[in-house]
Amino acid sequence: MGSASSSYRVIYLDVDGRIQKVVFSRFCSPCDIKELFCTALGVPRNTNLSLLDSSGAMVSIDPTMPHNTERSPYRVVPMTGGQLADKEELFQNVLTQVAEQFSRAFKINELKTEVTNRLAMLEKRVELEGMKVVEIEKCRNDIKKLREEMASRNNSNFLEDNKKLTPRRDVPSYPKMLSCLEHMYHDLGLVKDFNINPITLKRWLLCIHDNYKNNPFHNFRHCFCVTQMMYSMICLCSLQEKFTQVDVLILMTAAVCHDLDHPGFNNTYQINARTELAVRYNDISPLENHHCAVAFQIFSQPDCNIFSNFDPEAFKQIRQGTITLILATDMARHGEILDSFKQKVDSFDYTDEEHVTCLKMVLIKCCDISNEVRPMEVAEPWVDCLLEEYFMQSDREKAEGLPVAPFMDREKVTKPTAQIGFIKFVLIPMFETVMKLFPQIEEAMVQPLRESRDRYEELKQIDDAMNEVQKKKSENLTIGGKKK
């Protein structure tokens, strides 16, 4: 009993003269605690807060913050832009210096002004013309030309190999990702073919972004990567020549929504810990069912319903198709789904609805776990993010006395051991099966997986050799100690 109670912290807050009690696990991240405080204060969860003790001193918002009592509550103050300015000054100075370097090299300021003005004019035209399809199509083509113009002026290989910039994973460019997702829907013809209101599409994507949590791995960046890979497979495999546009719409929308409101702890934890989600969905794919529920709660808002022009029967088809694909991302069903696809692939029939649905399920599974298809400098940081999320879960499972999977235990797993088995026995067999239907993915997707497998096997050999040397050193020291 003692160990269980010590896993939780109790903090008292002064909220407009009212004492608010907040209880949280000592394994919570600072972001989780800050969101609790925002809820207690009744402000948006991304609001920056300042925590003050009874003497007016600032207190760090994290699991180790000093304990207080009802008589000495902390005061929570939302921070204004002016208060944040000092903290951001150093970061802004660095950004300014980088921007100046780029501007001198590529005259980006002039280009930026030109592009900004032209894009502003195009967006105004879309709104003033009432989102007419012809006008939107013309604007989209103009925007595409602008992007090509920027790409031609901006050589991506301008840095020497030893001076490459590595973006930090915790400073994502969300507006750019949202813009790219929006472009994918336009480029695939979905906005035009289904008369989707472009402004509603923007609002929906913003709402989607706000409903992904800031987990190390299962966050909005992951949503973007999965959807971008789906877009790439649709284009590379010429799926629009084989699927209906409704199928393409389902594939893209399921990819966008597939991990909505993911809590950062997998189904095994939900079931073993008997969480509310596990109870609600009877231990059957609790997370995936939750992602579906959140997705259609968003669609139920008129301002975010990109399907508002569909008749009830068509919407029912979209809803069922999207749910089927999101539920297919539960890795507990991996063997079942892949075996079913293997039975169909040699005599695949695009006129058979069951065959097409099975292929769509495999496609979203490929996209969901496709990081190792990407270049090493992109893929490897995602392994770090995933392991960080795994370790957070295993630490909590140990504290709560729950079973811990070896591949999540920070004391047992290494990056090579984590990836070798997954690439060899999950990724490569699945992508090679898809390759039977679409040989064009071998060079772009299957070969990178094989190279990644080989690289991690080499890393494991190095690790094993170093461990063996260390073991012999320890044995020699032990023998030397005994002789003395």
- Among 17-21, 324-328, 345-349, 446-450, the range scoring the smallest mean pLDDT is 17-21
Over residues 153-181, mean pLDDT: 50
* Residue 2 binned pLDDT confidence (cut-offs 50, 70, 90): very low
Over residues 289-298, mean pLDDT: 98
Over residues 6-14, mean pLDDT: 79
User: Which residues are documented as binding site for Zn(2+)?
Assistant: 222, 258-259, 368
Highest mean pLDDT: which of 103-117, 442-456, 462-476?
Answer: 442-456
- Cα separation of 419 and 413, whole Å? 10
**pTM summary value:** 0.65
pLDDT at 348: 98
56: left (phi over 0), alpha (psi -120 to 50) or beta: left
pLDDT at 46: 76
pLDDT at 141: 62
Residue 386 contacts residue 216 (beta carbons within 8 Å): yes
Highest mean pLDDT: which of 25-34, 143-152, 465-474?
Answer: 465-474
Chain-wide mean pLDDT for the chain?
A: 84
* Residue 35 binned pLDDT confidence (cut-offs 50, 70, 90): confident
Q: Residue-wise over 145-183: b if at least 16 C-beta within 10 A, else e?
A: ebeeeeeeeeeeeeeeeeeeeeeeeeeeeeeebbeebbe
* Residue 477 binned pLDDT confidence (cut-offs 50, 70, 90): confident
A 10 A CB-CB count for 300 gives 9
**Bigger pLDDT: 173 vs 435:** 435
Over residues 225-254, mean pLDDT: 98
User: Which residues are documented as binding site for AMP?
Assistant: 218-222, 259, 368, 419
pLDDT at 119: 64
pLDDT at 170: 39
Residue for token digits 């949590």? 213
pLDDT at 161: 37
pLDDT at 150 over 90: no
Catalytic residue among 218, 262, 291, 355: 218
User: Which residues are documented as binding site?
Assistant: 218-222, 258-259, 368, 419
pLDDT at 155: 43
pLDDT at 45: 76
pLDDT at 454: 96
Residue ranges and CATH numbers for the domains of the chain are 8-80 (3.10.20.90), 177-468 (1.10.1300.10)
Over residues 456-466, mean pLDDT: 91
pLDDT at 163: 33
pLDDT at 131: 47
pLDDT at 132 over 80: no
CA distances from 25 to 41, 63, 222, 266 (A): 19, 8, 26, 18
pLDDT at 38: 84
Over residues 145-168, mean pLDDT: 43
Is-catalytic flag, 355? Answer: no
- Among 80-89, 118-127, 287-296, 420-429, the range scoring the smallest mean pLDDT is 80-89
**Bigger pLDDT: 479 vs 63:** 63
pLDDT at 142 over 60: no
Handedness of CA 61, 66, 67, 73 (dihedral sign): negative
SS3 of residue 52 by DSSP: strand
Over residues 44-57, mean pLDDT: 81
The radius of gyration of the chain's CA atoms, rounded to the nearest angstrom, is 26
pLDDT at 114: 63
CA distances from 277 to 3, 122, 231, 268, 291 (A): 25, 45, 31, 12, 11
pLDDT at 100 over 90: no
Residue 233 contacts residue 175 (beta carbons within 8 Å): no
